[in-house]
Amino acid sequence: MASRSGGFWAAVRRLPWNRFFAGIVAGAASLVVTLIMRALGLGLFLPEVALDFVITRIPGSVESFFIGALGEGAKGLGFVSALVGVLAAFGVGAVFFRRIEAVVPRRWAVIAVYTAGYALLVLFLVFPLLGAGFVGSQTEAGPALAGLSQFIGGWIYAAALDYFLVEVAARHPEGFNPSRRQFFLGTGVFAAGLALAYAAFSEAVVQPARLAFASLQDLLDQEVTPTDRFYVVTKNLIDPVVDASTWTLTVDGLVAPGSLVLGYAALQDRIQSGALPAVDEYATMECVSNEVGGNLIGTAKWGGVRLGDLLQAAGIEAAADWVEFTCADGYTVAIPRAQAMDPATLLVVMMNDAPLEGRHGGPARILVPGKYGMFSAKWVTRITAIQGPYLGFWQQKGWTNDGPIATEALIALPADGAVVTGAQTLGGFALSAADGISKVEVTTDGGATWNAAQLRAPKDPRLTWVIWTFAWTPPGVGVYRVVARAYDGNGVVQSSAVAPPFPNGASGYDGVTLYVSG
């Protein structure tokens, strides 16, 4: 047994660790450069391509589990995993450096072999396997920029390898040959680092944030959510940056002969002239991934034009029964024609009386009130009249293709777990896709009694949430569970059945625990 163990550790020590770790460092340098190029719109970033491949193929139920557990941190965990995998591949590639060096004795030639080998491998094998097409042809960057970024990344990788394995190796001919103790120590330190990082990461994101306000006045003041506090959810690691001066919107498909193509200035001209009448409306938007009581919800004043007016201007045909949206990041989704022609469905260019910001989908996005946010496509570049139904990006993964926002009451005041004394004003919002809200009820005694809350007149009785408040005097000290429920405009109470966000949106009564002290 001892001889076998000794043989194993001898084999471990003989592994080319110096080359492997040099490859990781060289790969990191390459990724930094290609990340900068990607951020500037000049190419592709390999870990992002790998992450997109996983995101588009992972089942919706699995994805929902990670989103529910980690929130937006799920995307961060996925990125870190992709990054580790790519860096490991860089390390493996460096293991063959000496063999190539033996066949190609000149340093510049070795660098050229590694540069070309890396770029060609990524462009003609890795990218197609990851769904990006040959030479990145299926990406927004296109073949030219994809090729440029990967050849530059390959050269950085090769040059860094040459530096570490030729110049540095010449100064340290002994190399890196770990003893068993060093191996265990290094492995332990690495594992401890991962454990600490995971603990910190989990502490930060494992509990999805609740909607909460500091005071009643804070709640009232944010009936319209400030733009900088409006939630942002996206499928992307790096969101597209769309320049309004070069942006165009194409309306095609089952429309009058030829496509309607509008630039941002042309769209504004039509709005100013009244050819496409300007519309302002208040509407609430909620992410389908929002947990009961969660903060992925907000209300804004939206400005733009009716989608129906735009489709009529394009000459939409009677045969078209669905309308598909295509976005600058490759995202697609569709809605039935009746929803598209609803006067409340907009092409939005303004948010809270300011031009729509890029992080919220600018220069133009779709707004579909009453449906979960995944139908309100951001960075829209193409609107296509089709015969449906059509399954978009999230729908292909199992999420609902109907998506009406469920009737719900959210408790946002006081915060869950708060310690309170004396009389309290409980408050929050209620929302429904079915003709607004008619009533909100609150219980503090486990459902033995339900008490009607006061409703404040909403910004729009059909499209926005309603602020509710309830004056409560605790009967004594102790722990109380406060639960709220809402009734839609037709008098139908929300579902009490507890359901996760996937696939139709979360449901169940919202509740908070309050600690009443003397």
CATH 3.90.420.10 positions along the chain are 226-397
Q: What is the mean pLDDT of residues 398-415?
A: 94
pLDDT computed for residue 74 by the predictor: 66
CATH of 226-397, one of 3.50.50.60, 3.90.420.10, 3.40.390.10, 1.10.3720.10: 3.90.420.10
pLDDT computed for residue 201 by the predictor: 42
pLDDT computed for residue 73 by the predictor: 63
> pLDDT digits over 421-454, tens only?
999 999 999 999 978 999 999 999 999 999 999 9
User: Which fold is adopted by the domain 408-516?
Assistant: Immunoglobulin-like (2.60.40)
Q: Which residue has the tokens 């602020």?
A: 467
Percent of the chain with pLDDT over 70: 86
Task: Specify the 3-state DSSP secondary structure of 134.
Answer: helix
Q: What is the mean pLDDT of residues 124-138?
A: 88
CATH 2.60.40.650 positions along the chain are 408-516
Task: Say if residues 475 and 491 touch (Cβ distance below 8 Å).
Answer: no
Task: Give the pLDDT band of residue 204 (cuts 50, 70, 90).
Answer: very low
> pLDDT digits over 26-40, tens only?
999 999 899 889 888
64 pLDDT above the threshold of 80: no
Beta-bridge partners for 485:
441
Task: Say if residues 396 and 407 touch (Cβ distance below 8 Å).
Answer: no
> pLDDT digits over 272-309, tens only?
999 999 999 999 999 999 999 999 999 999 999 999 99
78 pLDDT above the threshold of 90: no
Structure-block tokens of residue 180: 């068993």
468 pLDDT above the threshold of 90: yes
CA distances 5 to 122, 177, 223, Å, are 39, 17, 68
| Selection from 225, 207, 206 nearest residue 431 by Cα | 225
pLDDT computed for residue 202 by the predictor: 44
Q: What is the mean pLDDT of residues 359-375?
A: 97
> pLDDT digits over 479-504, tens only?
999 999 999 999 999 999 999 999 99
